[in-house]
Structure formats: structure tokens, C-alpha cells
Chain A
Amino acid sequence: DAKTTQPNSMESNEEEPVHLPCNHSTISGTDYIHWYRQLPSQGPEYVIHGLTSNVNNRMASLAIAEDRKSSTLILHRATLRDAAVYYCILIINAGGTSYGKLTFGQGTILTVHP
């Protein structure tokens, strides 16, 4: 399985930017980097994903290192509602389809202080 490594926890103050790192040194050239978050007592939800280029959407930005061995999820202005567990996962690409098995690491617990 493609492995990712994330810090166990991070803290931020409200309205400040948050940079959540993820290491994925075993990534292959066509594997996608996905980020999901899990709010308390809810199922995980999609945040953002990318392949090589940096990506932006209404929730966050994804900065991908040039060698693709790491990425950073950026929340531009953290709010209390952003307090969650953030998961970085790799979805392995296999010739047009993708490897079925999908495992999650422990993720990063983000605490946002008022």
C-alpha cells in the first residue's frame, strides 16, 4: 500500500492560515493525492485532490512539491468549523483504472482556537 505520513496534531488560531503537511515518498508518477476531513461524529468528506500542479477550490488549496514526495493542504483562514481530522491518502493509478484497496492513516487532528 502506498503510505503517507502526517503529524498527529496541529493547532491554529481562528482566521489564521493553516498548513497541513503530508509526506508520500513512495508515490508513483500517476498516483493522485487526495485530502479528506472528518468532522466530529460524521463521515469523512472530500476536501481536494491533485496530481502534479497546485490546486485551489472553495475549501482549500493543495500545494504539491516538485518531486511529488510531499504535499501541503492550505486552509487560508481557519474557522472553528475547520476543526477536524485531516487525512492525506494516495490513490494508486493503474493504467486508466485505479487500485481498489484504499487505506487511511491516522490523519492530523487540527485544533482551532478562538
Chain B
Amino acid sequence: NAGVTQTPKFRILKIGQSMTLQCTQDMNHNYMYWYRQDPGMGLKLIYYSVGAGITDKGEVPNGYNVSRSTTEDFPLRLELAAPSQTSVYFCASRLGTASNTIYFGEGSWLTVV
């Protein structure tokens, strides 16, 4: 199993550009998550999904969109990038029971200039 795979690892965007962060997991996990982490801060939940076709907002959803058309993929779309979206983004997944481990990707470092 590759686990949770995020691409790209690094990206520089100009203000106003749009991009998609890709996240794929091969563990047949129901739940998937997107977090952002600003320097020296904790993880903030952007969006999450409990299954294909189901998504919901987290703590900081503004400026982002997601979709979950398959169990494996959970892309995060940034529309009209702003400097405030400069951050490290982590994708995570887990099965649906409370005892299941959460698996994280390695992160995507995004800079908006």
C-alpha cells in the first residue's frame, strides 16, 4: 500500500491563480480530510468527506472547494489564490470506526505570492 499520496509537494502560485491539490489513498478508507497548517500553528480542518459523494465543511473552508467522486480521491481546489492561503496542506484518511488509525500524507507546501 502506498498509503495517502499528495501531489504536488511544493508549489508557488501567483495571487488570483487557481490550482488543485491532489490526494489519493489506496486503503479503501471511507473518511478523508484536508487540513492546513500555518507556521508554528496546529492543524485546521478545511473540508472532510465520509464517503464518495459526501463532503462537509470544516473549521476554515472559505476559499476552498472539494469533491469526492471516488473512494480513493479527494482533491482540494483553491480558487483565486490569496497570500493568506500560504500554508502546508495535509490530506488524511481513515476507516469509519473510532478505533481506526488516521493516516496522513506527507504534505503539500504552497506559497502564494
Contacts and interface: CB of A to CB of B under 8 A. Distances in A.
B90 A43 contact: yes
Nearest to A93: B98
B105 A43 contact: yes
Interface in A41-73: 41-46, 49, 51
Interface string A9-23: 000000000000000
Interface residues of B, number: 27
A101 interface: yes
Interface residues of A, number: 29
A98 B98 contact: yes
Given A32-B99, A45-B104, A51-B99, A100 B42 contact: no
B97 A97 contact: yes
B112 interface: no
A107 B42 contact: yes
A97 B31 CA distance: 11
A106 B96 contact: no
